[in-house]
Amino acid sequence: MIDWKGVMPAVTTKFTNDDTLDLVMFQKNITAQMEAGVHGIILGGTLGEASTLTQEEKEVLIKTTLSITKGKIPVIINIAEQSTKQAIAVAKHAESVGANGLMLLPPMRYKATDFETVTYFAEIAKNTSLPIMIYNNPIDYKIEVTIEMFEELAKHKNIEAIKESTRDITNVIRIKNRFGDRYKVFTGVDTLGLESLVIGADGWVAGLVCAYPAETVAIYKLVKAGKINEALEIYKWFMPLLELDISPQLVQNIKLAEVATGIGTENVRAPRLPLRGAERARVLNIITTAMKNRPRLPDYKNL
C-alpha cells in the first residue's frame, strides 16, 4: 500500500569516471532525499537514464535503494518497455524483489491507439498486486491518456495514481472533477509544481529535487499548510533552476546542480555527454546565481 502524496523524486543514476555505478554517491543522494522529508523514491525514469542501464545494474539499484530506505518510504519502479510481455515481466520481478509500486509509461517506440494503450496498462495491472501510477506525458511520449481512458482503467483497483505531465494544468482539475479521490494526482512538470499543488494535486514527481530536496519538500509542505505566499517566495527563487528540467538535456542539467549541492557528480552515460561550451556556461551561471541566493527555509517539517 502506498500513501500517494507529497514529493517523490525521480532520482538520477550515479556513475563513476569509469562508467560503472557509483553506489557511494547514490546512497549519499538517497539519504539526503530522506533527510529532507521526501515521500517516496522513483527509480528508472528518464532522469535515471534507464534506457542505458543493463538489467544487472537495474537490479543493483533496486536492491540498494530498498536497503537504504528500509521500508520508511516507498520505492517505485518505472516501467518503459518495448512490449507488453517485457513490461509484465519487469512488474513481476519488481514485486518479487520487494518494490512497493510501479510507474507505467505507455508503450514505447510505437504510437499505440487509445484501445491498445488502455489494454497495455490493464494487462500489466492484472499481472501484479503492486499499486500503480500512470505517467501521462504526451509531450515527450506522443501518447495522451485521456479522461475517457482513465475511466476505462478505473476498474483496475491497483491503478491508483496519475503523474500528470500534459503541461495543461487544468487537467488536474478535470481529473479531480471526474474521479474525485479515485485517482491521486501528481504534477510531473517542475515549472508547474506550486500551481498544481494549489489547485488540488496530491503530490509532485520532481526533477530538481534531486539537487534541492529540502526546497522542494518545503514548497509542498507550505502549500498544503495554506502558506502560499511563503511557498511562492521559495518558488520564485527556484524557477530558473526548475526550467532546467524542461529540456532535452535535463539529465546533464540536473546532475550539474547535484554537483553544486554536493550530492552528485556530472557523469552521464553515452550517448549523453556532459554539457560544454556556451550551454554549459549558461547552465552553470543559473546554478551559481541560485546558490548565492539560496533561501533560508522555515521549519517546514513541523507544519
| CB-based contacts of 79-83 (< 8 A; 24+ apart in sequence) | 79/44, 79/103, 79/104, 79/105, 79/124, 80/44, 80/45, 80/50, 80/51, 80/105, 80/108, 81/108, 82/107, 82/108, 82/109, 83/107
pLDDT at residue 4 in the model: 98
| Confidence (pLDDT) at 108 | 81
pLDDT-derived band at 289, boundaries 50, 70, 90: very high
d(CA 34, CA 73): 8
Report domain extents, the chain.
Answer: 6-302
At residue 49, the pLDDT reads 95
Q: Is the pTM of this model over 0.95?
A: yes
As a whole number, mean pLDDT of residues 283-302 equals 98
> With bands split at pLDDT 50, 70 and 90, how would you rate the model's confidence at 292?
very high
Mean pLDDT of the chain: 96
The pLDDT value recorded for residue 109 is 81
The residues facing 15 across adjacent strands are 21
What is the tens place of the pLDDT at every residue in 63-121?
Answer: 999 999 999 999 999 999 989 999 999 999 999 999 999 999 999 888 999 999 999 99
Checking if the pLDDT of 140 tops 90, the result is no
User: Which CATH fold would you assign to the domain 6-302?
Assistant: TIM Barrel (3.20.20)
pLDDT tens for 216-236 read 999 999 999 999 999 999 999
Over pLDDT 90: what percentage of the chain? 95
